[in-house]
Structure 1
Amino acid sequence: MDPLTPDQTGRAAEQRTLRLQVLGLNSVEAEATFDRVARLAASFTQSPLAMVNFVNDERQMFRGMYVPPASPDDHAAADSRGIVFDLSDIAREAPNDYGFCPHVVAQGSQLALDDVFDYPRFRGNPLVNDMGVRSYLGTPLRDHTGVILGTVCVADVVARNWDRKLKEGMQELTETLLSEFKLRDSLLAQQQELFAVFDGAPFPIMLTEGPDHLLRYANGKQGAAFGMVPQFSPGRHVLTGLDAVGVFNAMDDAFRTGRTTTLPRASITTYDSPAPQDFSFLCTPVRTSPHAPISGVLTVAMNAQQPYPGAEQQVFAANVQERFEQLGAGGFGGPLPGQRGGGDPYAR
Structure 2
Amino acid sequence: MESLSSEHDRLAGEQRTLRLRILGLNAVEAEATFDRIARLAASFTHAPLAMVNFINDERQMFRGMYVPTSSPDEAADPAGGGIPFDLSNLAREAPGDYGFCPHVVAQRTQLALEDVFDYPRFKGNPLVNDLGVRSYLGTPLRDNTGMILGTVCVADFKPRTWDRQLRQGMHELTETLLSEFRLRDSLLAQQQELFAVFDGAPFPIMLTEGPEHLLRYANGRQGQAFGMVRQFSPGRQVLPGLDAVGVFKAMDDALSTGRPTTVPQVALRTCDAPMPQEFSFLCTPVRTSPGAPFKGVLTVAMNTTGQSYGGAEPQAFAANVQQQFERLGGGPLSD
TM-score bracket, normalised by the shorter chain, equals 0.7 to 0.9
Residue 314 of structure 2 aligns to which amino acid in structure 1? Q
The SS at the match of 2:30 is coil
CA gap 1:35/1:291 in 2 versus in 1, 3 angstroms: farther
Distance 2:329 2:240 in 1: 30
Worse-superposed segment, 237-246 or 149-158: 237-246
Measured after TM superposition, the shift of residue 251 of structure 1 is 2.3
**Matching residue of 2:53:** 53
Give the 3-state SS of the residue equivalent to 1:27 in structure 2. Answer: coil
* Cα distance in 1 for residues equivalent to 2:12 and 2:252: 32
Give the CA deviation at 1:144: 0.6
1:326 corresponds in structure 2 to: 327
Aligned position for 1:286: 287
User: Which structure has the higher relative contact order (CA within 8 Å, separation 6+)?
Assistant: 1
120-129 or 40-49: bigger deviation:
40-49
Write the distance in 2 (CA, Å) between the matches of 1:52 and 1:291: 25
Code of the residue aligned with 1:200 in structure 2: it is G
- Partner in structure 2 of residue 106 of structure 1: 106
1:265 aligns with 2:264: yes
Cα pair 1:24 1:295 within 8 Å, conserved: no
Unmatched runs of 5 consecutive residues or more in structure 2: 77-85
Query: Is residue 200 from structure 1 mapped to residue 200 from structure 2 by the alignment?
Result: yes
- TM-score, normalised to structure 1's length? 0.83
Contact 1:264/1:280 (8 A) holds in 2: yes
Equivalent position of 1:135 in the other structure: 135
Written as runs of structure 1 = structure 2, the 5 A alignment for 1:304-319 is 304-305=304-305, 306-319=307-320
Give TM-score scaled by structure 2 length: 0.86
User: Measured at CA, do residues 290 and 122 of structure 1 come closer, stay the same or move farther in structure 2, by a change above 3 Å?
Assistant: farther
- Equivalent residue for 1:166? 166
1:275 is aligned to 276
Which letter does structure 2 place at the counterpart of 1:286? R
| Alpha-carbon separation, structure 2, partners of 1:225 and 1:266 | 16
Q: CA deviation at 1:187?
A: 0.7
Q: Is the 8 A contact 1:286 1:298 kept in 2?
A: no
State the shift of 1:295 in Å.
3.9
Where 1:63 maps in the other structure, the secondary structure is strand
User: In the TM superposition, what is the alpha-carbon distance from 1:315 to its structure 2 partner?
Assistant: 1.7
Q: Which runs of 5+ in 1 are unaligned?
A: 77-84, 331-348
SS in 2 for 1:64: strand
**Is the 8 Å Cα contact of residues 32 and 292 (structure 1) preserved in structure 2?**
no
Distance 2:87 2:187 in 1: 33
Aligned length: 316
Q: 1:329 to 1:38 in 2, by over 3 A?
A: closer
Local SS of the residue matching 2:109: coil
**3-state SS of the aligned residue for 1:144?**
coil
Deviations 1:275-302 (A, max 9, x none): 2413132222334x78975443322233
